[in-house]
Chains A and B, each alone.
Chain A
């Protein structure tokens, strides 16, 4: 048995700050969306009723505009340390990624053995983590485009206008929700050793 360091302390701190902040951001965003639910299928009345999400536009806006700053600060710290530490090399797609996408996906679905590339994160993880960072950045930008469409009109125009920015922001939320759901399933599947690494920083390897 051998202790192997896996996740740096800064990464764990940023990750665990991100968890409640992101959940509160999505929650307060739904409170706001309720006031003008224009996208068909989102969300059923029972969903709002059960979770007590109705008639809370003002509360949602107050929450959203507080949590947003905390998330932005956390996000900037993450991006700076991601660049400075070189951790980006472990999670951004690299030259090997395209060829590995299909085998990794098939392995994730349990159809074949996971190909061993010797990398800390496989092709699907790289795509998912990089995609989540991208969604976060776009969510912030489209959020500002909705928040100040007159003062930041140039930004709103980048999203083809106010309605485009709202749709983009909503899609980012769905994308991040999807990421979180898949992430949780994968964490459960990967087991205790992997989860402990996100808390304590190390994994235990069997020595052969």
Chain B
């Protein structure tokens, strides 16, 4: 009798345990790959250098960054006209673009703040000209050398910070490490600068840019 009661009790406990509702599984939220904001801005350092007229550089750069999930799809476009030289006149002008993506490490997407690391492909189309007068052992002569159709490409690793200043205005910097540079189209004259890259004497280069950006959210 005791054995029967024990068996019934054990069966009842077992059924009760089995009848416990299963813990609800934490369901993964579906990833939304629709862009939720875009930031449009200017490179402040380049803009200030141009507007101040402090050196022979005219340059503007614009940046567009679409935020998608944890990533920013970034597109830069710039123009540059750089004149150099004390005993000669060197003029290098052209345009460039960079395209790539950043991984945004900030948790709060709604804030619009950015702390990111990313990769860019960059390309420049430009021309340069060197005019100078010198005596290379054959009397004083004028020399004019030019490259009319130069292209350059390189890759960049970019570290970026953007913080909200007021309303939808954001400010921040991008530090870049530029590498795997290639130039095509050079003749006798070797290019001294590449728009968007800097001096060619370095095979790899670093750059620091400051951006002012306006954020346009696509949904609240």
A and B: bona fide binding partners: no
B residues whose Cβ falls under 8 Å from a Cβ of A: none
